[in-house]
Amino acid sequence: MRSSLWVAAQLRLRGYRHTKEIVERIQPRRRKPPVPLLQISEVTNGVLRRVPWAPNCLERSLVLMKELRRGGNEPVMRLGVRRQKDALEFHAWVEVEGRVVGDSDDFARSFRPFGEDELPPDATFV
């Protein structure tokens, strides 16, 4: 729960890029082999279902990324966009070695990945 509170506060106070930079500097708590991806994903998603707000995919992905790094994994944040009717939808997800973690692979792959430098300042994540 502390990770989700920390990520939510950092996003609101400092923004996505700053928060992601901090998360990327986190050193693993454990030595190799890393904690299994499924174990970290299930625990993280279980905690996020119990927080008193509804975290969006960006918050969920940053929390998962933080916990994966602590577990000795090398996660990569992905951002994507797709057109739904007359609007653009943005989505964030995490991958480890090209595999989607903590999210539906089909759902994540329905978004066209883009670089962080292309992220519109007013993007709202689903």
pLDDT at 79: 95
CA pair distance 17, 29, nearest whole angstrom: 23
95 lies in some domain? yes
Indicate the residue type of 116.
E
Which ranges of the chain have pLDDT less than 70?
A: 1, 30-32, 126
98 lies in some domain? yes
126 lies in some domain? no
pLDDT at 31: 62
CA-atom Rg of the chain in angstroms: 14
pLDDT tens track for 108-125: 999 999 887 777 777 778
pLDDT at 2: 82
29 lies in some domain? yes
pLDDT at 117: 76
pTM of the model: 0.87
pLDDT at 1: 64
pLDDT at 34: 79
pLDDT at 30: 64
pLDDT at 119: 78
> DSSP characters for 41-108?
HHHHHHHHTTSSS---HHHHHHHHHHHHHHTT--EEEEEEEEEETTEEEEEEEEEETTEEESS-HHHH
124 lies in some domain? no
Domain that holds residue 43: 2-118
pLDDT at 98: 93
pLDDT at 27: 86
31 lies in some domain? yes
Q: Provide the number of structural domains found in the chain.
A: 1
